[in-house]
Amino acid sequence: MRNNKLIRFIQQSIKLFKLDLSGYNILVPALTKEPSLAPVMASMAGAKNVYIMADDIEVVNKVCFFETQLGLKSNFVFIQKETPQILSGLDIIIKGEGISYIDAGFISALKKDCVISVLPENLDFRNIKDISLEDCARREIPVVAVDPGDKNLMLYKYFSHLIIKKCYEADINVFKSRILLVGCGELLENVLSFLKSVGAQVYVAYTDRDKDKTYTLKHLFDTDIIVVIEYPQKSKSIIGNDGFIKIEDILDINPELKIIHLCGKIETRSLSLGRISTIPEIITQNSLNVSIDELDSRAITEITAAVMKAAESLIKLKKRTILPGESIVSYNIINAGGPVVLGRIMF
């Protein structure tokens, strides 16, 4: 039954994003939560050769099961390492789990009309790591990232649901507790809107408004949990001795409160010394504290389809088979040094 549900999600996502990979050769990751998702989706969208980065026999068995059950026509190739021979024939690379650092040697083996689309494990499409963007630009190979604020993608809505989950992990009842959101940006606004829609009592302090520091101090006493959301990250420190919220104020006013960290600079060592609990315990300071595995299968499927659609759209843009702006999903070419023009990328 679960397999049938995954296939239904894939079919719906292919239809939603009008994904068409007909004739393309694509390298995909085997995602931890849904290892067969990316290869099966690529095949169902028409890919010719699907290379899967996998060294687990369970991944092979799952993909082969779907290949037989669905009569998939793609040629599936399971690899443990990318070779120059494989790289030279690729049209699309989905940079995700298990795919090695894309360095100068990797890039030199690619053909010039190849496109790299990123699927970060922490779903941070703004801060891209493990790719030499300069070397890609030098060879005019675009690296594309979906716009996390895209309404079709609904990524911020998925993150909003995660806040509810993390509140319960912190033993916080969102319907009977007071939540203080601290940060700025579109993601914060989405979380605020969602929490209010489910009846939560929410305060919000904007880090780009200095007067909100006083507002924060006013509500620290009756706050049960602080949610730090500043995305994209701007402030040098949101919670810290020199931050938007001072640690000494938390300790003096409400030492029992807890902190959920989604994105934004905080002083973890000082918090631990003050025995203020954070979720997660180990905090990534320069990016999102989210894992793709925290989302449900439908969300992961839609995000994967959007990442593939961005690559498809860019290839068709370069080949002049679509016009700029005609893609179903909006995206950014993160290593472009100039504007995108019809038919080619200006670096």
Q: What's the whole-model pTM score?
A: 0.91
User: What pLDDT score does 320 carry?
Assistant: 62
Per-residue model confidence (pLDDT) at position 341: 37
Three-state SS string over 251-308 comes to HHHCCCCEEEEEECCECHHHHHHCCCCEECCCCCCCCCCCCHHHCCHHHHHHHHHHHH
φ/ψ of residue 285, rounded to 5: -85, -30
Range list for CATH 3.40.50.720 in the chain: 2-152+293-345, 171-276
CA distance 212 to 184: 12
Q: Kindly give the confidence (pLDDT) of every residue in the chain, 347 residues in length, as a single tens digit, with 9 standing for 90 and above.
A: 457 899 999 999 999 999 999 999 999 999 999 999 999 999 999 999 999 998 889 999 999 999 999 999 999 999 999 999 999 999 999 999 999 899 999 999 999 899 999 999 999 999 998 999 999 999 989 999 999 999 888 999 999 999 999 999 899 999 899 999 999 999 999 999 999 999 999 999 999 988 888 889 888 999 999 999 999 888 889 999 888 999 999 999 998 999 999 999 998 888 887 788 899 988 888 889 999 999 999 999 999 999 999 999 998 887 766 555 567 888 899 887 544 433 333 33
Fold of 171-276: Rossmann fold (3.40.50)
> Which CATH superfamily hosts domain 2-152+293-345?
NAD(P)-binding Rossmann-like Domain (3.40.50.720)
At 338 the pLDDT is 46
Among 250, 290, 251, 283, CA closest to 268: 283
Query: Which tokens in the block code for residue 190?
Result: 């989405």
CA distances from 174 to 1, 34, 185, 187 (A): 33, 30, 22, 19
pLDDT of residue 347: 34
Helix H or strand E encompassing 228? strand 225-230
Task: Give the pLDDT score at 214.
Answer: 87
Backbone angles phi, psi at 243, to 5 degrees: -95, 180
Do the Cβ atoms of 99 and 93 come closer than 8 Å?
Answer: yes
